[in-house]
C-alpha cells in the first residue's frame, strides 16, 4: 500500500492483513489498560462518511502517554501504517508501536489544521488538510455525532462543554408556578452527590430547597415514580417548548442530545435548549433494555437500594440499633410510604441543620432536644427531626465540645473552610403522616 494513499473505511475493511493509512472520526474510546506483558492497550472506534457503522482500532504502546488519548469524542485521528485484521468475523485495525503513527485533530469546523497530539513517527502531508476539512464539514452537517456517548445519570458532569447525551424515561411533565415547563427524567442510576456551598448559619432564613421545582409534586404524582435512582428535573428553554412538548409523553423512553446539566443548591437539573435534540426510543432498544434490567436487579436486592456512591459501606460515625425487620429503603420510599408510622433504615447525607449552633439544640422551656436536619440521598431530600428522647439517644450524652466535633463530621465541614462534603451515614427513620415529617430514631452519633 503506498505511503501517501488514504483509504475510506468502506475500502479499508477489504484490505485484510495489509497496512493502510486512514483519517477518520473517533466515536468511542476506552481508557488505557495494562496488557499481560509490559505494554498498554486502548481501543477506539472510528467512522467516516463512507461507513457510519465504524470499525474498532486496537492500539499498543509502552507508556500511556504514547497512546492517542483524544480530548473528546468527535475529534479526528490520522493513522499511518495500521494493519487491518479480522477475528471471529469482526474487522478491526491494529496500531503497531514499531511502525504505525498517529495525529489528533480537533473535530470542530475551523481553519486550524495543526494536530494537538502526534506520535514520534508522524509526518504531515500536503493533502491531509483537505481530508480533515471534508470530515469536519461532514460532521457539522450530520447528526451522527449526536448518537454517541449516552451517559447514565450517575456519569453526568456539569462542566461537559456542549451538554451530554442521555437515554431516559419520561416520568412526568408539568408547568410550574413560574410558567416554566419541566420534565422529570429517570434511568435507574444515582447522580453524583454535590458539595454544599451554603453556610450552616444561613439555613434558618434561607434554607436549602428540598426540590428543584418551586412547589413539591403531589403525593399522587410521587407515588407513580420509581423509588430508586435519581429523578432529573429538566427545564425547557422557552424557544423550544412547542416543538418538544409534542414529542414528550409520560412513560416513554427518549434519547436526549446536548442537554446541559447544572447544579442549584446541591441539586442536579437539566436544561433543554435550542441546541438540544430529542428522539423517541422503542422499548426494545438496547439502551432501554440495559437500563431497565439494571434497575430490576436493583429493586430485588436490599443492599442495591443503598446509594451507588456510598459503597462499599457508609461512614461509621453513626450506629443504628433499630429492629432487623426494618427494611432498607430510599428516602423516596419513605416519602411515598402509605403505612404510617413505620421504621426504616436509610443511607443518607446530612446537608443542613436548624438550629446551627449546638448550644441551641435544646429548647429553653423544657430542656428537650428539637433539631431539624435536612437529609438527602440520590432520590430526594427531606426534613427529619431529632426530638426529645430520640434526640438524647442520637446525640449520645455528648458535651458541647464533643457534640460540636460530631456535627462537624456529620455535616462534612472542612477544617480549612469552603464547600461541605457530608459523608454517607446510616440512620433509622420513623415516618409520619404527610406534613409532619420524619423523626430520627434508634440511631446514635459516634465520635
Among residues 320, 447, 444, 316, the alpha carbon closest in space to that of 392 is found at 444
pTM of the model: 0.68
Provide the residue-wise pLDDT of the chain in tens; the chain has 447 residues: 445 689 999 999 999 999 999 999 988 776 677 888 888 888 888 999 998 778 999 999 988 888 888 877 788 999 999 999 998 888 999 999 889 999 999 887 778 899 999 998 898 887 889 999 999 999 888 766 655 578 899 989 766 656 888 999 999 999 887 788 999 999 999 999 999 999 999 999 999 999 998 888 888 999 999 999 999 999 998 776 766 787 788 999 998 988 999 999 999 999 998 878 888 888 888 889 989 988 988 877 767 778 999 988 899 999 999 877 778 899 999 888 877 778 899 999 999 999 999 999 999 899 899 999 999 999 999 999 999 999 999 998 778 999 999 999 999 999 887 899 999 999 999 987 554 578 999 999 997
- DSSP 8-class letter at 213: S
Among residues 196, 187, 148, 146, the alpha carbon closest in space to that of 167 is found at 187
What does the block give as the cell for 24?
A: 477518520
What DSSP element (H or E) covers 186?
strand 181-186
**How far is the C-alpha of 229 from the C-alpha of 195, rounded, in Å?**
19
Domains in the chain with CATH codes: 9-144 (2.40.50.140), 150-300 (2.40.50.140), 303-445 (2.40.50.140)
**How far is the C-alpha of 83 from the C-alpha of 60, rounded, in Å?**
12
CA distances, 363 to each of 388, 391, 411, 430 (Å)? 10, 12, 22, 22
CA distances, 104 to each of 58, 71, 76, 136, 318 (Å)? 16, 9, 6, 13, 51
- DSSP 8-class letter at 6: B
Q: How many residues are listed for the chain in this entry?
A: 447
**How far is the C-alpha of 3 from the C-alpha of 81, rounded, in Å?**
8
Amino acid at each position: 500500500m503506498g505511503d501517501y494513499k488514504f483509504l475510506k473505511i468502506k475500502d479499508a475493511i477489504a484490505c485484510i492483513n495489509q497496512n493502510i493509512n486512514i483519517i477518520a472520526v473517533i466515536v468511542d474510546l476506552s481508557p488505557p489498560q495494562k496488557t499481560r506483558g509490559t505494554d498498554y492497550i486502548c481501543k477506539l472506534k472510528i467512522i467516516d462518511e463512507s461507513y457510519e457503522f465504524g470499525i474498532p482500532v486496537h492500539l499498543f504502546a509502552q507508556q500511556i502517554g504514547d497512546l492517542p488519548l483524544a480530548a473528546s469524542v468527535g475529534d479526528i485521528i490520522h493513522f499511518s501504517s495500521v494493519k487491518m485484521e479480522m477475528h471471529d468475523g469482526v474487522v478491526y485495525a491494529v496500531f503497531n508501536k514499531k511502525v504505525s503513527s498517529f495525529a489528533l485533530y480537533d473535530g470542530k469546523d475551523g481553519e486550524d489544521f495543526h494536530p494537538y497530539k502526534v506520535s514520534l513517527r508522524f509526518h504531515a502531508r500536503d493533502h491531509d488538510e483537505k481530508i480533515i476539512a471534508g470530515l469536519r464539514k461532514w460532521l457539522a452537517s450530520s447528526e451522527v455525532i449526536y448518537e454517541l456517548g449516552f451517559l447514565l445519570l450517575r456519569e453526568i458532569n456539569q462542566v461537559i462543554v456542549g451538554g451530554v447525551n442521555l437515554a431516559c424515561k419520561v416520568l412526568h411533565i408539568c408547568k410550574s408556578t413560574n410558567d416554566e415547563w419541566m420534565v422529570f427524567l429517570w434511568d435507574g442510576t444515582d447522580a453524583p452527590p454535590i458539595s454544599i456551598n451554603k453556610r450552616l448559619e444561613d439555613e434558618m432564613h434561607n434554607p436549602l430547597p428540598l426540590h428543584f421545582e418551586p412547589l413539591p409534586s403531589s403525593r399522587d404524582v410521587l407515588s407513580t415514580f420509581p423509588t430508586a435512582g435519581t429523578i432529573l428535573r429538566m427545564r425547557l428553554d422557552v424557544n423550544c417548548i412547542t416543538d418538544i412538548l409534542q414529542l414528550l409523553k409520560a412513560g416513554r423512553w427518549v434519547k436526549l442530545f446536548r442537554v446541559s446539566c447544572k447544579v442549584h443548591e446541591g441539586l442536579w437539573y437539566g436544561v433543554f435548549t435550542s441546541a438540544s435534540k430529542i428522539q423517541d426510543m422503542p422499548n426494545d432498544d438496547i439502551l432501554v433494555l440495559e437500563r431497565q434490567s439494571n434497575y430490576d436487579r436493583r429493586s430485588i436486592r436490599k443492599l442495591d437500594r443503598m446509594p451507588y456512591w456510598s459503597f462499599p459501606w457508609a461512614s461509621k460515625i453513626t450506629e443504628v440499633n433499630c429492629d432487623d425487620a426494618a427494611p432498607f429503603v430510599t428516602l423516596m420510599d419513605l416519602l411515598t410510604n402509605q403505612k404510617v408510622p413505620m421504621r426504616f433504615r436509610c443511607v443518607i447525607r446530612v446537608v443542613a441543620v436548624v438550629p446551627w449552633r449546638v448550644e441551641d439544640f435544646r429548647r429553653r422551656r423544657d430542656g428537650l432536644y428539637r433539631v431539624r436536619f435536612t437529609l438527602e440521598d440520590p432520590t430526594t431530600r427531606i426534613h427529619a427531626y431529632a426530638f426529645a428522647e430520640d434526640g438524647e439517644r442520637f446525640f449520645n450524652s455528648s458535651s458541647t465540645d464533643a457534640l460540636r466535633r460530631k456535627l462537624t463530621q456529620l455535616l462534612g465541614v472542612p477544617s480549612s473552610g469552603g464547600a461541605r462534603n457530608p459523608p454517607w451515614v446510616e440512620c433509622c427513620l420513623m415516618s409520619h403522616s404527610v406534613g409532619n415529617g420524619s423523626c430520627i430514631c434508634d440511631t446514635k452519633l459516634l465520635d
